[in-house]
Amino acid sequence: QVQLVESGGGLVQAGASLRLSCAASGRTFSGYAMAWFRQAPGKEREFVAAIMWNSGRTAYADSVKGRFTISRDNAKNTLYLQMTSPNADDTAVYYCAASSRRFTVTMRVSNVDYWGQGTQVTVSS
Tell me the pLDDT band of 46, cut-offs 50, 70 and 90: very high
pLDDT tens-digit readout, 53-77:
999 999 999 999 999 999 999 999 9
Question: Beta strands 119-124 and 18-25: pairing type?
Answer: unpaired
**20: pLDDT strictly greater than 90:** yes
pLDDT tens-digit readout, 78-117:
999 999 999 999 999 999 999 999 898 999 999 999 999 9
**125: pLDDT strictly greater than 90:** no
